[in-house]
Structure 1
């Protein structure tokens, strides 16, 4: 079987949300495999510093909420760099607090970045990848949260369930359209990977009457505790690349841990048991 270097080395990788966390880890490992890496992120300072670290890479300030920005990025990459072998739709943000306390703007932010950002990436790049007619890969970042129910993080959890469903449907559509023999669609489900996603997460409006700020911030602290023992982003990236090279669909940073969450989810759906509050085990989201 071919390994990741044989498959991806020499190709172009475009990574959204590349400035931090698993996005930066994926970028570093892609560069180590010999890929030309395009770093896309709204945080231009972060990707500028990472580009300085990775010779031959390109940094592009890009807000995935803007479909025109993704279209312009795709056009520029194909014009100035070359066809894309690997598209990684990774950009994502978190949100803490009771759903009824969540500000509308924060809900929209999570959905616009985590879900619509993936769609915009697919919309901009996939037609070009198909037209090129060469083997290419699309990775969409879901999460262990995409197969779990977690209180006080509902917007994020909803978004990652949506990304997983989007990716599963996309794989079927690529096959239906006759492109499945060279376009490989895969879903990435990270467990805990070191990043600043929890620090940067949205919270609730303390000025709104009745809002439970303490619950939101307690959940943030719980996630930060999990982060302390989280996986190194480059190590996570190496696992994901090697799994992709084996042509599996679900790419899991921690196969045993994330796999157990997937099995538990399957069991819940099969038995139709209502969601249960947990006091010991947390299925924390990701990674960015």
Structure 2
């Protein structure tokens, strides 16, 4: 029996933003392993489609419509699931959105939505679920979706990048807090590199700056050409979470390179600069 099957062969898993992309891939993998997967998404039809696909392959899944930017919805979900199931073994705070444009051109509403989903979704997911996990007293796992962008910069993707820096630091502090509390809960920071997802497909709401469409097109083409297969990436993610790793990377060499660049920048304390690859992307 593999470590994945041993750890995640049973129990309840909650995956936010699982109607598409990495969330859907993680949910499907957990369903294959034997968990009862609670597939949540702001679009209920997308959540149900993923849940139905898991059930069609013999797995167990239910769909829940959830807006992670609303803390009360996370509170209600946590209370309901612990009431019905007694425990939640794995919480994956995956929900996230991409926003593109110069910081001063992104509408205030889009700024608020991005930070509320990407940062507060993870924060309030933890706040809502951990008290129930502690009360249940059983081993549990929490995985927060960061990014290789957590260790770099990219102008015009500022809202997304800063949110992922925040998720990374939140996960590090949470890891230490749960250690201090002597809680049987493991924390992972999930650091996807470039996976083939639809994150750059949809425009970032009303009023998205015109130049954003070009940036999205370039990023879509890069993902299509160089991205890792989604299912392969999600299998790697689930396996590393099961192993109890804090650092969970789909492409470790990419993560290592981004961190090395960040360390060099912080050590030398120079002005921020763009890598040649990033410069080419923005100028193409």
Answer yes or no: same fold by TM over 0.5.
yes
| Structure 1 residue 41, shift from structure 2 partner | 0.5
Q: Does 1:258 align with 2:271?
A: no
Contact (CA 8 Å) 1:93, 1:200: kept in 2 or not? no
TM-score (norm 1): 0.91
Q: Give the equivalent residue in structure 2 for 1:191.
A: 193
Query: How far apart, CA to CA, are the structure 2 residues paired with 1:18 and 1:150?
Result: 26
Contact (CA 8 Å) 1:51, 1:57: kept in 2 or not? yes
Task: Specify which of 221, 225, 241 is matched with residue 217 of structure 2.
Answer: 221
State the secondary structure of the residue aligned to 1:40.
Answer: strand
Please list the CA deviations of residues 234-270 of structure 1 after superposition, one character each: whole Å capped at 9, or x if unmatched: 2111111222233221100111112211222122212
State the secondary structure of the residue aligned to 2:202.
Answer: coil
Unaligned runs of 5+ in 1: 207-211
Q: Structure 1: which 4+ aligned runs deviate by more than 6 Å?
A: none
Please list the CA deviations of residues 116-151 of structure 1 after superposition, one character each: whole Å capped at 9, or x if unmatched: 111111111111111111110000001111111001
Q: Does 1:270 align with 2:267?
A: yes
TM-score (norm 2): 0.92
Contact (CA 8 Å) 1:146, 1:161: kept in 2 or not? yes
Unaligned runs of 5+ in 2: none
State the secondary structure of the residue aligned to 2:277.
Answer: coil
Q: Give the equivalent residue in structure 2 for 1:202.
A: 204
Please list the CA deviations of residues 169-217 of structure 1 after superposition, one character each: whole Å capped at 9, or x if unmatched: 11111111221xx2101100111122221122416737xxxxx623x22
The aligned length equals 276
Contact (CA 8 Å) 1:204, 1:213: kept in 2 or not? no
| Structure 1 residue 62, shift from structure 2 partner | 0.5
Task: Specify which of 143, 164, 169 is matched with residue 168 of structure 2.
Answer: 164
Q: Does 1:90 align with 2:94?
A: yes
Give the aligned CA root-mean-square deviation in angstroms: 1.9
Higher-RCO chain (CA-CA 8 Å, sequence separation at least 6): 1
Please list the CA deviations of residues 74-99 of structure 1 after superposition, one character each: whole Å capped at 9, or x if unmatched: 11111223311100000000111111
Mapping of residues 62-211 of structure 1, within 5 Å: 62-179=66-183, 182-202=184-204, 205=207
Contact (CA 8 Å) 2:195, 2:228: kept in 1 or not? yes
Q: Give the equivalent residue in structure 2 for 1:249.
A: 246
Task: Specify which of 226, 229, 234 is matched with residue 231 of structure 2.
Answer: 234
Contact (CA 8 Å) 2:142, 2:186: kept in 1 or not? yes
Query: How far apart, CA to CA, are the structure 2 residues paired with 1:241 and 1:103?
Result: 36
| Structure 1 residue 276, shift from structure 2 partner | 0.9
Q: Which has the higher helix share?
A: 2
State the secondary structure of the residue aligned to 2:233.
Answer: helix
State the secondary structure of the residue aligned to 2:276.
Answer: coil
